């Protein structure tokens, strides 16, 4: 059966351009712009069960385009823009979704906005972004959530901001970017991968369409570059990395383009949530389709065997 993307609905967020993360059956919206276009420190939780928003305790400072990751049920927010006009920040804090409390963390080495962060086990990696003077960065830092300390990592090969990143088979991939290597408005299609064991970066196969605002994800055995923006338009592009061919292939495009900020792999706790009838029919339809297909194949196979048996009997009688 052909794989397709389905738009489940339209969600109105409390703030414009927030960062998003999924936690405990809730979609958490952090920061973004208020109605008066000033940066916000607001935090809101959307329940997938009740389909309602509720206000959580705000962050210590306003943040726009913040990096957000989850480690051991704590929500970590790192750097990005604060105040008005927006400036890069080096501050970090974490939120306990159970106690609803924010805890300040040690500052990063560099102030960053439009950076990208990913987590692996107890480590959080934050890469690139724009410095306080607007200069793109290639530096990388790692925060140990157990010791509460920051460490410097090896620099990326080229500066990047507003790019995708994901761990895939033990390596950290950074995908696409806005960059200022040649001009202020150039885009990158380059991909690099980082080996945490050797603390080194190497060049990987480039994506086919240069863009920024990519959402990098790992889904089972696939590394995917979802969405993003070209110089002229939002694109619903999906590219899938094939390690055996060391190349990116086009996937089924999204229903609409955009810079996607949150991707959740379906889990048991999500399937247990009460959904609307027209939202839960997808899985049963696929199961039904597969079952009918198998039955039809068995039916035609049995008919073929019966016909073959008749032919053998007739051939035997005639001879």
Domains within the chain, CATH numbers bracketed: 10-153 (2.120.10.80), 156-274 (2.120.10.80)
pLDDT computed for residue 287 by the predictor: 30
Which residues have a Cβ under 8 Å from the Cβ of 8 and sit 6 or more positions away?
279
Partners of 54 in beta bridges: 45
* Position 227 pLDDT exceeds 80: yes
Mean pLDDT of all residues in 117-134: 94
Cβ 54 vs Cβ 39: under 8 Å: no
Residues above pLDDT 70, as percent of the chain: 72
Mean pLDDT of all residues in 157-181: 89
pLDDT computed for residue 81 by the predictor: 75
pLDDT by residue (tens digit) across 23-43?
Answer: 888 889 999 888 888 889 999
pLDDT computed for residue 43 by the predictor: 94
What's the whole-model pTM score?
0.79
pLDDT computed for residue 16 by the predictor: 81
pLDDT computed for residue 83 by the predictor: 60
The rounded mean pLDDT for the chain is: 80
pLDDT by residue (tens digit) across 72-92?
Answer: 999 999 988 766 566 899 999
pLDDT by residue (tens digit) across 231-290?
Answer: 777 668 899 999 888 999 998 887 776 666 666 665 655 444 433 333 322 223 333 333
Cβ 113 vs Cβ 127: under 8 Å: no
**Segment among 7-16, 40-49, 215-224 with least mean pLDDT:** 7-16
Cβ 174 vs Cβ 191: under 8 Å: yes
226 phi-psi bin (left φ>0, alpha ψ -120 to 50, beta other): beta
pLDDT computed for residue 262 by the predictor: 66
Partners of 33 in beta bridges: 16, 39
pLDDT computed for residue 280 by the predictor: 25
Please indicate whether residue 5 or residue 191 has the higher confidence score (pLDDT): 191
pLDDT computed for residue 259 by the predictor: 65
pLDDT computed for residue 285 by the predictor: 30
pLDDT computed for residue 275 by the predictor: 38
Cβ 145 vs Cβ 122: under 8 Å: yes
Taking the chain, what is the end-to-end CA distance rounded to the nearest angstrom?
A: 47
Cα(65)–Cα(31) distance, integer angstroms: 8
Strand runs labelled E in the chain: 19-23, 26-30, 43-47, 53-56, 67-71, 74-82, 87-96, 101-105, 116-120, 123-127, 140-144, 149-153, 164-168, 171-179, 186-195, 200-204, 215-219, 222-226, 238-242, 247-250
């Amino acid at each position: 059966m052909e794989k397709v993307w389905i738009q489940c609905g339209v969600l109105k967020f409390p703030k414009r351009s927030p960062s998003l993360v999924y936690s405990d059956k809730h979609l958490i919206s952090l920061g973004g712009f208020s109605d008066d276009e000033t940066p916000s420190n607001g935090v809101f939780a959307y329940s997938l069960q009740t389909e309602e928003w509720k206000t959580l305790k705000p962050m210590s400072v306003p943040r726009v385009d913040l990096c957000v990751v989850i480690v051991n049920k704590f929500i970590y927010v790192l750097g990005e823009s604060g105040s008005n006009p927006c400036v890069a920040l080096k501050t970090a804090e974490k939120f306990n979704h159970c106690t609803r409390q924010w805890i300040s963390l040690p500052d990063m080495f560099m102030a960053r906005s439009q950076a990208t962060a990913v987590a692996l086990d107890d480590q959080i990696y934050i890469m690139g972004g724009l410095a306080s003077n607007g200069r793109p960065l290639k530096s990388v830092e790692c925060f140990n959530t157990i010791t509460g300390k920051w460490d410097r990592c090896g620099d990326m090969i080229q500066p990047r901001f507003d790019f995708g990143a994901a761990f895939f088979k033990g390596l950290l991939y950074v995908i696409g970017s806005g960059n200022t290597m040649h001009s202020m408005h150039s885009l990158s299609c380059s991909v690099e991968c980082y080996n945490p064991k050797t603390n080194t970066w190497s060049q990987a196969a480039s994506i086919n369409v240069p863009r920024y605002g990519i959402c990098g994800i790992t889904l089972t055995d696939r590394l995917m570059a979802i969405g993003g923006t070209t110089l002229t338009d939002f694109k619903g592009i999906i590219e899938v990395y094939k390690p055996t061919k060391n190349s990116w292939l086009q996937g089924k495009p999204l229903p609409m383009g955009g810079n996607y900020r949150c991707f959740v792999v379906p889990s048991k706790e999500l399937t247990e949530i009460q959904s609307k009838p027209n939202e839960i029919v997808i899985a049963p339809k696929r199961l039904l389709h597969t079952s009918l297909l198998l039955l039809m194949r068995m039916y035609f196979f049995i008919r073929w065997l019966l016909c073959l048996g008749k032919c053998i009997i007739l051939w035997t009688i005639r001879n």
